[in-house]
Structure formats: structure tokens, C-alpha cells
Structure 1
Amino acid sequence: MKRSWILAIALIALPALSWAQVLTQTVRGTIVDADSKFPLIGATVTIGDQKVVTDDQGSFKLTNIPVGRQTLAVGLFGYGAQTRALELNSAKEAVLTIGLQEMATQLGEVEVTAAVTGQAKNEMATVSARQFSVEETNLYAGSRGEPARMATNFAGVQGSDDQRNDLVIRGNTPAGVLYRMEGINIPNPNHFSIPGTGGGPVTILNNKFLANSDFFTGAWPAEYGNAIAGVFDLQMRDGNNEKFEGSAQLGLLGTELMLEGPIGPAKDGRRAPSFLGVYRYSTLSMFQALNINLGTNAIPKYQDGAFRLTFPQKNGGKLALWTMFGVSDIEILISNQTDTSGFESYGSTDRDQYFGSDMVVGGFNYTRPINKRTFMKAGIAASAARIQAVNTKLQREVGSLGDGTFGWLVTANDTMLNYTFNENKIHGFLAYNHKIGLRGTLQYGVNVDLYMLNYQDSVRQYDGVTGTLPPWRVQWATKTAWPVVQPYISYKTRLTDKMTLTAGATSLYSGVNKISFMPLEPRVGLSYQASENDRLFAGSGLHAQMQPPYLYYYAVTTVGHNPQEHNPDRIGLMKSFQVAGGWERTYKGLPIKTKVETYYQYLFDVPVETKPSSFSMLNAGTGFGRIWPDTLQNTGVGRNYGLELTAERFFAGGFYFLTTASLFDAKYQGSDGIWRNTIFNGRYAFNVLAAKEFKLGKNNRFNVGIKYTTVGGRWFGAEIDETATLRTGEIVFVEETNNTVQYRPYERFDLKLGYKWNNPNTAWEFGLDLSNLLGNKNILTLTYVPGLDDPNTAVNESVREEYQLGLFPVFYFRCDF
């Protein structure tokens, strides 16, 4: 008993001891040439009053660095200086790889200042690019630790709605965003993903296994193809190769475990190999227990994870085996609901839905500095994505529930939809970087994807007018395979010490049909350092993208059990010409950056219907349903233009803020020849974020973060087609009025609270993220519920506004060890 009391007192005293004791951590890593990735010898690395020089492998190690926020500075004669902001805790070493850009002139002494971050890692990027860090995903209120939700704080980027993390970039369809992991074009990295969409309710990506990555919103380098809206170039970090570390987290979005460490000793001039593993299992049942509205009465179930083995080679080379996966399923049982005012934001209110989606991707990557001027990287991977759904049609009527109340009574429940989509792919890439003199860099390579598709889908389309389910019809019955090939070349040259030019080209070939080939997509960018603090930049590019594969094989009609596919040879690549330019300014002695950027995009060869209609693929790419268009042709056009403003104070002195504003216009023309607003044309977006850190004692910190967002509303039709709406059970507007009326503006205020405390060998954190703190009723959609209309009123009660998430609290409790 005495020992138990001693142990309890010791546990209680640990946090108090951490107030008095200064805890420290190790910072180590490698300094490399930014272009050739060759290790740099003799670079000076400084934190505070500690300074070390890199060894013959480019490695450095700084010990006994106080935990908390620190600034690391790197300098080497002949190279540009770099600074990096760090947040250290007592449990996890900071392991870094920093690239330095070779200069044509000599470098003076390194001046340690507050780190101004955000520049893209990709050296070919001059415009519309930003690097995001893992720390930022935890810093931003309302981001839930997700990279995509975090990106909605950047200028020109909005989310589709609270329920999903689709990205609307400069008014473009979310389906136009490319996700790349470790150089591989990966499937939609979200749980409960729908074919042809770019997001989902919950991400599979976990910031515990991600390294700093790049995000592009326009005119991106030639390395990237098959995208028209934006690019997420994600990197997976290596595990710690010197000591074992871990993290355990309990939260409303999942229970997580992360482990990493060495798997052998260093030998033969190679660093020690390492492993990294992350696993998460959903705990959304907590929301139901706490009576928190998820937008559904069902409990989504999911699990995901990632694993990486890293084997360092000599001279900075590396072989890595990596994988990540996600499994999710949900049963939305409307038949169990009797409340006539209920709404299902993840499905339809006229059917029971059984839905599941799985994805896995993994492969090998090899990187090698061939010499001090040349670097190569290569990778091969395989991916599999499976989506399966069964829907049963409900026929209901309002009646007595037997207890004196009235509600829905189910009169029939028949299967109406059964589909399984499998997309298996083999991926590969090969890339070279070669430095030419002191001023030039040549980059070239090729990305290859082999698509192996199996789509099976049968349906009985309920007719709301006659109240009948017709016989089964086969919509998809496809087994096919074809390649996508994208070679590219880029060249960067410093014309002067202040002016840098990048130029490149790529080509896109898709074997889906004979017309999906873009022989040349030129890219060009120019950056001019007008002064120590001012940079002017401009860029342009032509971009092409194929459509979601399932659309090529859809059949409106079926003969027997043979679907009559009508689009395989009709749909070519959609194209976008983009130009952007702006001015970026830093302020000497201050951790502040401002940026003004303007852009224009002309989209052409957009798939629209052959019959006159308002349909355009520019309005697709989000939501929880597929699209079933009629015969398509590449005759649609669109245009987007806008002005973006950013003011950012990087974290220094315990304070941070980010303000972004976008003014834009996004319009399109369908096959009816009428210019309309895209559904994403909110016309403006405004974000204000701020975070304040309070130091408590020597090792503990309390954080407060706030965010305010307002975005112009989406667009819908002015007049409802009653007959078509009754027949389909969904709102159908009179064709001529589509996208002529706008929802009221979206507004949301978020608050994030966090407390971090460090003990010897462990670090603890509690976070509470309160989204939509004021409970604003932001419109999600309009729904049609037949039978609720009162003919004695002027308002059609069968048409209702349905709202996005109200107050949505997300907490987590984490221990790093």
C-alpha cells in the first residue's frame, strides 16, 4: 500500500516538476543540395547559441535544445541560407532534411531571423504554390487535422460543404484535383469516396505519417499532369532510425497508434534503416452517445493506416517500401426513422443504403544522387479501390404510430440498386534532375499508370408518378484495361541573380479511346526578386485531364442484359489554359508576408450533353451521388478569373495569424449555348485565422485559435419541375432556370483550444476543436418530400432547406512517448 501511495504522488508531481525543470530535445538531420540531393559537407547549422557543422554525409546533430518553439538556420558558402521553424516536445526528436539552393554569388554570414515559411519545395514552381507543414494541420481551427480542410484557408480555395473535404480551387470542379503520394498518382484518399469525386467525409491521410508537402492552385510545373484544378503533392516521412518513439491518441474521430524506430544498425557507410507504422480505428459512436449531430443517424465505421520501411544507401541514396490503406462502411437505414422532419445528408431520404469503400496503395521508391550534379528517383506501386453499394427503395406514408403520434410508415421496401466498382492500377515513374552550371537545372521524366477496371451495376429506377419499380436494367458491365502515359521536361535558369525563368512541357496520352491525347502542354514561369523584400512572379500553362473512368462506360439503355455504352469513343480530354501573376512581399525584421495574385483560366473541350442542356462536367465532382449524363461531347467551355489577397504572420513570439480574401467569377456554357454561373461560383471568400500561445512554466503551453469564414452561396434553379421531381424523388429544376438563384452566404466561426505539457520522455496534448461555434444554419441543399405540401398555403412545404453541420466539437487526447 505504501508503494502505491508513493507511485500516485510521483505521477501527480510530474506535471509540477516539468514547470521547474528545463526539458530538452535533440534536433538532427541532413543538409543536401536542393537540385541534386547530394549531401553537403561543411554547412553550418545553428539554433540559438548552439552551432554545428555537417559531416561527410551532410549530417548534423544538435543536443540539449530546450523544448518549445525554436528557429533553425542553415548556411553554406556558395548557397542561399535557409531557416526553419520548429516545435519541439520532450518525447520526439526532430529529424530534418533541408535542401539549399546553390547561388551564383558568394554567401555572407547567416543571420538568424524568424522563419518565413510557405515556399513550395518544388524548385520549378514560381506561381500559385505553397508548402504546408504538419504543424499547420494542427494549428488551424476547424481543420480537424486534415490537409484538405487545412487548405481551404488558403486564398482561392474553398470547401464544398461541412460534411465533405472536397476542394473547390478558383471555382473549378473538385474532380480536377490530383492527389500524389511519393510520386505516385493515387486514388481518392478519403473514406466513403464516391466515383468521380475528389473528397469525402473523413480523410485517410494522417498527419502523423506525412512530411512537409506542396499544394498547387494553378499553372503548376510540367511534372504534374492529368489535372485542371490543383495538385496535392504529398510525401511520407521516414521513421526515426536512432531511437524508438511512439504516439497514442484517443479522440472523437478515432483511436490511433503510431510507432517508429530503427530496425538494424548503421553499417558500410549507410545510416540505420527504420520503420514507421500508423493505425486508426473510428470511434464515431461517441458522437451518438453525446447526442452530437453528424448529419446522419447511422454510425460510419472506418479504419486506416500506413506503413513505411526505409533503407538508407550510400551518398544520400534511399530505398523505401511504403503503403497506406482505408476501409469504410455505413448502413443508412431510413426505414427505422419515423420523424417526417428528418434529413440524411450522406444519402437519400427515400431508400435504405448499404455502402462501403476500400482503398490501398503501396510500392517501392528509390532515390539516388548519382553525383554532385545529378539526382534520380524512381518508383513502382500498385493500388486498388473498391466501392460497393446496395439500395432498397422505400415506399412510405404518414400514419399513426399507435401512441397518439404520427410519423412515417413503411409500406414497401424493395431492392433498387446494386453496384460494385473496382479500379486496380499499376503505377510507375522515373525522374532525373541535372544541374547545368551554377544557374541551370534540367528535370525530365515520365509517369505511367495502367488502369484495370471492372464496373458492374444494375438498377430499377423508381417512377414517382406511377409509384412503380420497373424491371432491372444493367447500367455498367465493363471489364477493360488501358494505360495513361505522361512524359515531361522542365528547365530552370537564373537569368540574373534576381531573375529566374522556368519553362517546360508535358504530354498526356490516355488509352481509353483514340481522341484522349494531348501532344503538348507547355508551362512557363518567371520570378523576379525586385528587392530584398519584394518578389514579382508570373506563370502560364496549358493543362489537360481525362474524365472519371466510370463515365466512359455508362449506358442509358440496355438490350437484354447488354448495356449500350454510348460514350467510350466520344469523350476526349478536358483542357484549361491558365495564367497567373502577382507580388509577394516580406518585411525585414518581421515574420510577416503579404501576397497579391491574380489569375485567368479558360476551359475548353469540356464534356457537355449532345442535346441542348445546361449540363457540364464543371459542375460535377462533389456530393454523395454519381452522375448519369446523356450522350456527351467535348464542346463546352468555361472561364474563371479572380484576385487573391494573403496576409500572414508566421508563428513568432507566441502569435500567428492568416488572412485571405478572394474575389472571383466562374462561369460556363453548356450545350444550350447559355453562359451560367457554375454551382461553385460564390464570387467571394474571406478567412481570418489567429492563434495565441501562452507559455506556462518552462515546458508547458496553452493555445487558443480562432477562425472566421464567409463564402458566397452556391447556385440553384429558380423554378421546380414538379413532374420530374415527383418521378425521381429529387429536386429537378426547370432547365432554363438552372444556376440562376444563389443560396445565402455561408458563415462559420471556429474555436480551438489546446494544452501541451512536457514530462521527461513523454509529451501530452489535449485539444478541443469547436466548428461552427455559433451554430449558423448554412444551406447544404434543397430536398423534396412528397405529401407534406399544404394546398391552403402559398409555400410549398414539400421543398425544404437542409442545413450543414451545426456545432461540431472534436476533441483528442494524445501522448507521445
Structure 2
Amino acid sequence: MMFRFFLNALFLTLPMALLAQQTVRGTITDKDSKQAIPFANILLKDSNPPIGTTSDENGKFTLSDVPIGKQTLVLSFLGYETFTLPNINVTAGKEVVLEINLVENFAALDEVVIVAEKRKEITVNEFVTVSARTLNPEQANLYAASIGDPARQVQNFAGVTGGGDDLNNEIVIRGNSPNTLLWRLEGVEVPNPNHFTRLTGGSVSMLSANVLAKTDFFTSAFPAEYGNGIAGVFDLRFRKGNNQKRETTIDVGVLGLGFSTEGYFSKKSKASYLVNYRYSTLGILEKLGLNLTDGFNPTFQDLNYNINLPTTKFGTFNLYGLLGKNKSNSSETEDENINGNPSTDNFTNKTESDESTFITGLGHRVFIKDQTYLKTNITYSSNDAKKNDVFQNSGVVGPLESESFDSKSEAFRLSSFINHKFNSKHTLRSGFTLSHLKEKNTLSFTDKNDDGTLSTSKDEINGTANVFQSYVQWKYRMTENFTLNSGLHFLHFGKTNSSAIEPRLGLNYKLNNVHSLSFGAGLHSRAEQLPLYLTKDATNTNFLNTNLKLSKALHYVVGYNWRINKNTLFKAETYYQHLFDIPVDNSGETGYNAINAQSFDIFEIAETPLTNDGKGRNYGIEFTLERFLNKGFYYLSTLSLYDSKYKVGNGNYLNTRFNGNYVFNLLSGKDFAVGTKGNKTFGINAKFVLAGGQRFTGIDEAASIAGQTEVFSTTPFTEKVKAYYRFDLGINYQWNKTKTTHNLSLNIQNITSRINTTELDYFFDEVTNRIVTIKSEQNGLIPVLKYSINF
């Protein structure tokens, strides 16, 4: 009722005249050198009378009076490939500000022949050859149930799946652990930017689609500048705020209340700011004294910002950052077992969790001379987690048993590279990253003694380490149809004094304008999470794992692209990955293996020496058929068939935790122009996913019956949960008023309300002496309603 009243009151205050045009402006640069391209031609396709302009000496252009709706720009300049930018969403509430990169022709042309070509699969990074995909912020509302979360969006791509949990946006790439994904923001490694997690997955992204620019996502054989990652790379970027107009976006929805603002500091300056803040709806209701959850109350808030400060002589500076905080409180009372019989182990468990992530950085880019620029970043990041569990037998008054965990991870990083474009054939980039890592972990127990008194014990894992990385990569366009990307990456981990030199290679060959082949290969290494190397022996004097090598993986990829028509692409990739030098517990006491690590708890292997005897192999084939958004219609279909195995020492290859064997995605959507004035759009999107279930270590029923307690199989990951499938539906309605754009969306996750199972749903029942399946804690149908206004 309050929400409806708010909408009615808001609409009554808005002018009703329709604004039929908006401004589209931007900057045009060379893709390799980032040098501005002056006097390029910009034409609004199918405009009558024609709407067009040219860029000024700084590569900037402005198109006024552009009609509202999906528009297409055609850009051309002598000596460069003509570029078509389709599906630009022009609305009344916000100016469209673009950064466009043009690719220089292999040889200079005497004249320009405009042949519009839609190349939406081209990545932001110019050194990419294979296994990469660009994520456009506008896809935040395009894919059903993605709810503006970039992690959920990439789960629709070939080779990517979630962790089999409806509430978790874990990213599993080609059977690799989510721990081995490299997250980057503005070109620098950062912690996992998700709420309610420490290392993998998370329930809600801390990043807003309102601040993100085009982003690259890699699934294998990535270029030499990316290091300290094995599975893939999520290379996130913030966009610049509007430096000519102040604009605001307000979001109200099930997830939270958001406020985004951008604009200029002074009209005499080209500097801009962009800030987005969000507070969870459950947190707001809690402040009002309302609790809509049963025994579990999660709240969160996050802040994203990017301040862009260009200067006339000293280049461009940008101050950017991310802050995320989340809390959860839960209370659970166990007073009967699953069969309704009274339990002898009745207890009450109260859990309090408090986590925060902070990332801030100062970036600088300056042109040293034509075709050469230097980019530098200085960053600080921290990840704090506090968790407290209190246990008490039901009805018993007395001292409480408890377990508390307090962790803080910090990283200081200096990163810099220089990029030089020699000509249309050769581009070279070289850089380095120096990281200082700091870790502090404390685990405390309060246990009840036989005499009823309490005793407290404490384990601590603290320490620091330095990481040095450097690289050089070269892009060579041998011919107009053949491109070579090659490079070397060097990684040195100071804590173990271990190093790796990693060659990288990528080839792309265009057979013609329709068919192309690609190949990628490379060695990739990674230092595991720092606490793994800080464990000590029973005397707490000697480090146990400082003799470990870096984890490594060899990637090989072959790809084929078939551009069926200007809007439709078919893509196939086959790959093989050999993982080696993986840290494992070779004694068999804990069964720890970094390949299967999911939510890593260092205290599980305290006082346990590890070795580099772990090996693994991932191989598979992937197919993608995609129709890019055109005339309001799109579809995306992917099929991934894969096998993921590991072994310890000279043992047999076994299934990894993440070996689901197959993933199938089918997405489609259509936008419809409604209303007589052309100012309204109605869109509907649907998604279906079918994936093989993750593996888990089965329960030995005979041994459990004999011992009257749950006994797990000695062979890990022998069992597999049922296949995971889900239908999602998204509905979106957008309308434009005078200087405002309104958007109302409803995303329904799991519209059939299927309850998918997880490994936690199976356990041994001591009363019936059998293995049983309980009702999963996963959610059924989840509706996410959101209203936003731009002005």
C-alpha cells in the first residue's frame, strides 16, 4: 500500500509532456593506443533527416535531438575500420555518454567504403584472442533473474555454471574451483566483491550496474597481463560520470533502496563524479521494528564511487572504490529429528556474522607521446569477517559453549604498465604489479568441562607476504586476417620463495568475413590464499608449508566462429587443462585438496603439512548460438560438455567436487514498443538452465549402522546430487516522461518453485538406520520487484 501511494504521489508531481529527444555524446579513440581520433564521422543510422556530426580535435562528439528508443551509430574515419554500434538505449532521463574504440585498417586506404559490421563479441582488452566475452551493463536487465548482478550474468555463458545453490552466485569455470577465479577492478586484483561470503560465491553483488562500464570475462588462456589466477578472469571497470550534466537514479525494490548520482564539479572543469549507494530492504524494515524472516535476518549496504579528474599537463587521475558491509543473525532450535521423534541432543544455536569489504584506489593515465601511454594504480583492499556461534542445551540454565572466528585480510598494491603502438601491425605492452599481503585470523573456543566450568582455547594464524608480477605482451597483425598475441608473465611469491615464468600465446585467423579460427595456449600459476602458508606445527614455532610451489595449470584452446549473419553468431571451443603442483594433504588425515576447495577454512588443516602432489585435468567442448539484440529480439543458447578430474600422487583420477559434466542454457527475450507516442517499452525475458549436479562424498551406510554414527566413504566425491534445473522469467516496463525515465521490473527466479538438492540434504539417520534426504534449505520461487527513476 505504501509503495503504491509512493508511485501515485510521484507520478502526480511529474510533468506529462513527452520529451522526444535526448543528447548522445562521447569520445572516439584508437583501440590500441587510446589516442583520440579527430574529425571522425558519426551518423545516426536510418535518421530522416540525417543526424550526424564529426569529432573535434580531442576525439569528442555530440549528437543533439536523438529520438528516444534503441538507436544505432555508424562511425568511420579514413584508415580505420568502419564500426557500427547498435542498440544504444536512448532515454529521457539520462544522457548517453560513450567511449568508442576504432581499429586501424591493416593498410592505409585511399577512400572509405562504409560497410556496417556489428562486432559485439569484441572485447575491451585489445590483446584477447580466445575464450573471452564482453559483458555490457545494459545486459543487467536483459537476462532474466540476473537482477543486475554481473556474476549471475556470466553464468549464462558457455563453460560457466553456479555452485548448484539458488541463493549463491558462485562462478565455476570449466570444472575449476571458484577460488581460482581472478577478480580485478580497474586493472588491479581485488577480493571477491560479493556480500555474505569470504572467498567464493556470495548472495548479492556489491557492485551496481549503474556504475559499471563494459567488462571482460575470460574462461581460459588469458593474455600475459593477467596473473595469479587459474580458472579465469573477471576484469571489472567503472564508467566515468557525466561531466556536463547532473543526473540521478533512485531504485526501490525487494533487494534494497538505491541512490545513484553523477555529474560535474564545475562547468569550467572536465572532472566528474559517480556515486552509488544501496541499503537492503530487510535492513530498512529492521530499523522500523519489522522482521519478515523466520530466525534469520540478513542485512547489507554497499557504496561504489569513481571520481575522474583530467588535467591539461599531467594526464588523468581517477579515485575509485567499493565498500560493502553485511550482517546476519540467526537462531535455530533443534528439538526433534526428521522423523518427529524426540532428540537427545536438543540445543539452541545462535549465530551472529559481521563482514565487510573495502577497496579503494588511485589511478593515473598519461600520454608520454603520440601512440604511447603510461597507466598506474595504487590500491588498498581489506576483507573483514567476524562470526560468533553460541550453543546451549535446550532448557538448561548455565554457561554457554561458543565458537568465534575473527579474520582480516589486507592488500597494498602498486601496478603500472606502458603501452606503445608502433603502427597498425605492432602493439607492445609491458608492466608490473607489487603486492604486500597481510593476514590475521583468530579462532576461539569456549567448551564446557565435565565439572560444568568453561575453558577457552585460541588458535591464531597471522603473517605477511610479498608478491611480484611482471609481464610483456605483443600484438602482431601479420596480415589483415591473421593476428598473433604473445607474451610472458612472471610471478614470484615471497613467502615460499617460489617463481614461475609463464608463456602465453593466442592466434586468430579469419578464413573470410564469415568464418574464423582461433587458438590459445598458456601456463598459468597461482599462490593459494595466504593463511595456507602460515600454518605452524604443534609447537607453534615452525611454518609447515613455506616449501610449497605455486599451483599451476597449462591451458590449450581451439575455437571456431561462424558469423551466420550480421546479427547471429555460432561459436565452438574445445579445451584441455592440465593442473599440477596443487597443494594437498598427502597423509590422508584431512583429505584437503586445493582443486576441490570451496569455502576454505584454514583451521581445518591446522598443524597439517601439505605437499604439491595434487594433479588435475579438465577437458570439454562448448557450443554457443547467439542472436544479438536486434529489433528488440535476442536469444542465447549454450551447451557445455566437460569432465573434471583430480588425483593425488600416483593414485587414480577421481571426480572433482565441480564435475557436473554438462550445462545447458537457453535464454530469449523480446521488447515491444507500446503506446501511441513511442515513449513506452514492454519487455519479456525467459531463461532455462539444466546442469549436472555437483559431487559430494557419500555416506558409508554399512559402517554408519555398525558404528551408530555417520561415517563417510573413504573415496571422496563418489556421489552426485540430482540434476539442477530452473526456469526464470523477467518482465520489464519502461516509460519516458519529461526529463525522466521510469522502469518497473519483475524478475521471478525458479518460476516452477523446484527445490534443487545439495550435498547438505543427505545424512545418516540413527533411528531408522538408513541414509535419508531431508527437505532442502534451498528456496523455491523468488520474486524480485524493482522500480527505478532516472532524472
Contact 2:694 2:721 in 1 (8 A): yes
Contact 2:72 2:84 in 1 (8 A): yes
Aligned residue among 295, 303, 306 for 2:304: 306
CA distance in 1, matches of 2:468, 2:384: 23
Cα distance, 1:802 vs structure 2:
2.4
CA distance in 2, matches of 1:230, 1:726: 45
Match of 1:702 in 2: 682
Cα distance, 1:373 vs structure 2:
1.5
If the length of structure 1 is used for normalisation, what is the TM-score?
Answer: 0.88
CA distance in 2, matches of 1:415, 1:58: 66
Cα distance, 1:804 vs structure 2:
2.3
Match of 2:665 in 1: 687
Aligned residue among 724, 742, 748 for 1:764: 742
CA-to-partner distance for each residue in 1:671-709, whole Å, 9 max, x for gaps?
A: 572311111111000000001111012110011000000
Contact 1:417 1:460 in 2 (8 A): yes
- Residues 317/679 of structure 1: CA separation in 2 closer, same or farther (3 Å cut): same
CA-to-partner distance for each residue in 1:273-328, whole Å, 9 max, x for gaps?
A: 11111100011369999x9998x731111111012221123489421111210111
Cα distance, 1:113 vs structure 2:
4.5
- Residues 198/80 of structure 1: CA separation in 2 closer, same or farther (3 Å cut): farther
- Residues 208/10 of structure 1: CA separation in 2 closer, same or farther (3 Å cut): closer
CA distance in 1, matches of 2:398, 2:526: 44
Cα distance, 1:22 vs structure 2:
6.0
Aligned residue among 368, 382, 385 for 2:383: 385
**Segment drifting more, 182-191 vs 255-264:** 182-191
Match of 1:404 in 2: none
**Segment drifting more, 82-91 vs 655-664:** 82-91
- Residues 565/610 of structure 1: CA separation in 2 closer, same or farther (3 Å cut): farther
Corresponding position: 1:509 with 2:492: yes
CA distance in 2, matches of 1:166, 1:567: 30
Corresponding position: 1:496 with 2:476: no
Cα distance, 1:201 vs structure 2:
1.3
Aligned residue among 757, 779, 782 for 1:805: 779
Contact 2:19 2:738 in 1 (8 A): no
Aligned residue among 252, 264, 267 for 1:265: 267
Match of 1:579 in 2: 556
Contact 1:192 1:357 in 2 (8 A): yes
Cα distance, 1:126 vs structure 2:
0.2
- Residues 350/554 of structure 1: CA separation in 2 closer, same or farther (3 Å cut): farther
CA distance in 1, matches of 2:100, 2:751: 39
Cα distance, 1:427 vs structure 2:
1.1
CA distance in 2, matches of 1:136, 1:447: 32
**Paired AA for residue 727 in structure 2:** F
CA-to-partner distance for each residue in 1:512-561, whole Å, 9 max, x for gaps?
A: 222x321x100000001110111110010100011111222235x755xx
Match of 1:5 in 2: none
Contact 1:505 1:523 in 2 (8 A): yes
Match of 2:241 in 1: 239
- Residues 474/297 of structure 1: CA separation in 2 closer, same or farther (3 Å cut): same
Aligned residue among 440, 462, 466 for 2:426: 440
Aligned residue among 198, 204, 207 for 2:206: 204
Q: Which secondary structure state, in structure 2, belongs to the residue aligned with residue 257 of structure 1?
A: strand
Corresponding position: 1:123 with 2:100: no
Match of 2:81 in 1: 80
CA distance in 1, matches of 2:467, 2:781: 44
CA distance in 1, matches of 2:37, 2:774: 64
**Paired AA for residue 178 in structure 1:** L
Match of 1:151 in 2: 154
Match of 1:545 in 2: 526
CA distance in 1, matches of 2:453, 2:194: 33
Match of 2:188 in 1: 184
- Residues 469/599 of structure 1: CA separation in 2 closer, same or farther (3 Å cut): farther
CA distance in 2, matches of 1:230, 1:627: 27
Match of 2:173 in 1: 169
Corresponding position: 1:715 with 2:715: no
Match of 1:528 in 2: 509
CA distance in 2, matches of 1:304, 1:159: 23
- Residues 717/696 of structure 1: CA separation in 2 closer, same or farther (3 Å cut): same
- Residues 477/601 of structure 1: CA separation in 2 closer, same or farther (3 Å cut): closer
- Residues 259/726 of structure 1: CA separation in 2 closer, same or farther (3 Å cut): farther
Q: Which secondary structure state, in structure 2, belongs to the residue aligned with residue 165 of structure 1?
A: coil
**Paired AA for residue 573 in structure 1:** L
Contact 2:576 2:618 in 1 (8 A): yes
CA-to-partner distance for each residue in 1:573-611, whole Å, 9 max, x for gaps?
A: 1100001011112134x4111100111000000111121
CA distance in 2, matches of 1:785, 1:744: 15
Q: How does 1:92-491 map to 2 (within 5 A)?
A: 92-106=94-108, 109=112, 111=114, 113=116, 115-160=118-163, 161-194=165-198, 197-266=199-268, 272-284=270-282, 297-314=295-312, 317-335=315-333, 351-395=349-393, 414-459=400-445, 471-478=455-462, 480-491=463-474
**Paired AA for residue 136 in structure 2:** S
Match of 2:36 in 1: 39
CA distance in 2, matches of 1:137, 1:376: 32
Contact 2:74 2:85 in 1 (8 A): yes
- % identity of equivalent residues: 32
- Residues 227/724 of structure 1: CA separation in 2 closer, same or farther (3 Å cut): farther
Contact 2:762 2:771 in 1 (8 A): no
Count of residue pairs the alignment pairs up = 766
If the length of structure 2 is used for normalisation, what is the TM-score?
Answer: 0.90
- Residues 112/461 of structure 1: CA separation in 2 closer, same or farther (3 Å cut): farther
Q: Which secondary structure state, in structure 2, belongs to the residue aligned with residue 455 of structure 1?
A: strand
**Paired AA for residue 790 in structure 1:** V
- Residues 468/450 of structure 1: CA separation in 2 closer, same or farther (3 Å cut): farther
- Residues 201/349 of structure 1: CA separation in 2 closer, same or farther (3 Å cut): farther
Corresponding position: 1:775 with 2:753: yes
Contact 2:417 2:432 in 1 (8 A): yes
**Paired AA for residue 39 in structure 2:** G
**Paired AA for residue 537 in structure 1:** S
**Paired AA for residue 505 in structure 1:** L
Contact 1:223 1:506 in 2 (8 A): yes
Q: Which secondary structure state, in structure 1, belongs to the residue aligned with residue 548 of structure 2?
A: coil
Match of 1:649 in 2: 627
- Residues 228/733 of structure 1: CA separation in 2 closer, same or farther (3 Å cut): same
**Paired AA for residue 535 in structure 1:** S
Q: How does 1:612-631 map to 2 (within 5 A)?
A: 612=588, 614-622=591-599, 627-628=604-605, 630-631=608-609
CA distance in 1, matches of 2:592, 2:9: 69
Match of 1:27 in 2: 24
- Residues 732/165 of structure 1: CA separation in 2 closer, same or farther (3 Å cut): farther
CA distance in 2, matches of 1:293, 1:684: 37
**Paired AA for residue 733 in structure 1:** F
Cα distance, 1:394 vs structure 2:
4.0
CA distance in 2, matches of 1:278, 1:666: 40
- Residues 623/82 of structure 1: CA separation in 2 closer, same or farther (3 Å cut): farther
Contact 1:391 1:417 in 2 (8 A): yes
**Segment drifting more, 414-423 vs 661-670:** 414-423
Q: Which secondary structure state, in structure 2, belongs to the residue aligned with residue 237 of structure 1?
A: coil
Cα distance, 1:211 vs structure 2:
0.6
Match of 1:3 in 2: none
Q: Which secondary structure state, in structure 2, belongs to the residue aligned with residue 37 of structure 1?
A: coil
Cα distance, 1:331 vs structure 2:
1.3
Q: Which secondary structure state, in structure 2, belongs to the residue aligned with residue 333 of structure 1?
A: strand
Corresponding position: 1:640 with 2:645: no
CA distance in 2, matches of 1:684, 1:292: 40
CA distance in 1, matches of 2:434, 2:62: 39
**Paired AA for residue 762 in structure 1:** T
- Residues 626/277 of structure 1: CA separation in 2 closer, same or farther (3 Å cut): farther
- Residues 534/726 of structure 1: CA separation in 2 closer, same or farther (3 Å cut): farther
Contact 2:399 2:454 in 1 (8 A): no
- Residues 482/796 of structure 1: CA separation in 2 closer, same or farther (3 Å cut): closer
- Residues 467/663 of structure 1: CA separation in 2 closer, same or farther (3 Å cut): farther
Root-mean-square deviation (CA, aligned residues, Å) is 3.2
CA distance in 1, matches of 2:489, 2:41: 38
- Residues 469/256 of structure 1: CA separation in 2 closer, same or farther (3 Å cut): farther
